[in-house]
Amino acid sequence: MTRNHSFEPRTGKAQFFFGICYGLIALIAVVMAVYVKVEMGTEPYMQYFMAALFGLLTVKSFYLYSRVKKLIAQGTRQTAKMLSCESVRGITVVRARTEIEGYGPIEFEQRLAGVRLADEIKRVMAENKQSTLPCIVIAGQSRHPRAMLTIATDHGRLKPESIAL
């Protein structure tokens, strides 16, 4: 099982955080450039380079963040058949399969924090007599569609309403 078709939205949040950090570093470089120019009277080429580099990284990070948000907003909600649900070293790994029109079936996995989460998911699914979970398909019409389960947790505990179809 490969993770080729798994979509991880946390990369967008990480890029947002990095964008803020890069922006602050670029701002510091601009302030340093002004200081060098005013106090020392020389051209601050190194500070210009640093400001340009981190400015570029800031733009890249915010672009990736907005791209992930756009992909999620344009995703198609579907159901996926659960293949397995197991706890591995404090992380619950849920593997599922969904059918994408025009592409075929894809297998993907979702990693969730919490050891007892696997047991809770299995229990709730047994109580509701369901074998499918809600998922969202990202870029379903492209050459490389991806998917993610829309299971919600709160501090390592399952929110049962997120599994209901």
Tens of pLDDT, residue by residue over 98-128, are 998 888 899 998 888 877 888 888 888 888 8
Burial class (CB in 10 A: 0-12, 13-18, 19+), 161: exposed
Closest CA to 155 of 109, 120, 108, 123: 120
3 pLDDT above the threshold of 70: no
Query: In the prediction, which pLDDT does 90 show?
Result: 83
Single pTM value for the model: 0.75
Query: In the prediction, which pLDDT does 1 show?
Result: 47
Q: How far apart are CA 41 and CA 36, in angstroms?
A: 7
pLDDT band at 153 (very low <50, low <70, confident <90, very high): confident
Per residue in 12-36, pLDDT tens? 899 999 999 999 999 999 999 999 9
Dihedral angle of Cα 38, 39, 44, 47, to the nearest 10 degrees? -100
What stretch of H or E contains 160? none
